[in-house]
């Protein structure tokens, strides 16, 4: 990989090669180094990398690539969750929820009888 293009004779008049710009941008976007560390590593100016990223259409704020887990590991996690929470545990939770709902219904009935007020709205009223 060539750092400078051959258009100019000295470093100060040179233009960075397109291949070098892409390489540096990809190294930053891989997420291993910060902008400052990349700029120091390749002896670039303070805003050179930011300029190159903007040139290539990367948003300055959201420039990092997010690594996603591969599907095999996701499937393994799902299998582990399924094995941990077996069908019997789910049935037990359902039974407890039904009992709790029945308890609330009874409490409302008792409160309506003792205090002689309508707590539950009737279906045909507005």
What DSSP letter does each residue of 45-67 carry, written as one string? -TTHHHHHHHHTT--STT-SPPP
Q: pTM of the predicted model, to two decimals?
A: 0.41
pLDDT tens for 39-98 read 888 888 878 888 888 888 776 555 455 555 566 666 676 776 766 667 778 788 889 999
- The rounded distance, in Å, linking the Cα atoms of 46 and 63 is 17
Residue 93's alpha-carbon distances to 46, 83, 87, 90, 116, in angstroms, are 59, 16, 10, 5, 34
Retrieve residue 17's tokens. 């090669």
pLDDT over 80 (residue 13): no
Contact present, 40 and 76 (Cβ < 8 Å): no
| Residue 48 CB burial class (10 angstroms; 0-12, 13-18, ≥19) | middle
Confidence (pLDDT) at 126:
62
Residue 46's alpha-carbon distances to 18, 40, 43, 74, 83, in angstroms, are 19, 9, 9, 40, 53
Contact present, 11 and 44 (Cβ < 8 Å): no
């Amino acid at each position: 990989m060539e750092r400078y293009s051959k258009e100019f004779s000295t470093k100060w008049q040179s233009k960075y090669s397109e291949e070098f710009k892409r390489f540096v941008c990809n190294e930053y976007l891989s997420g291993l180094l910060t902008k400052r560390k990349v700029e120091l590593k390749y002896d670039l100016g303070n805003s050179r990398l930011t300029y190159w990223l903007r040139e290539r259409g990367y948003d300055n704020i959201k420039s990092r690539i997010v690594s996603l887990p591969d599907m095999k590991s996701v499937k393994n996690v799902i299998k582990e969750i399924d094995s941990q929470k077996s069908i019997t545990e789910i049935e037990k939770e359902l039974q407890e929820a039904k009992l709790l709902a029945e308890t609330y219904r009874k409490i409302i009935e008792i409160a309506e009888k003792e205090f002689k007020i309508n707590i539950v709205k009737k279906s045909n009223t507005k």
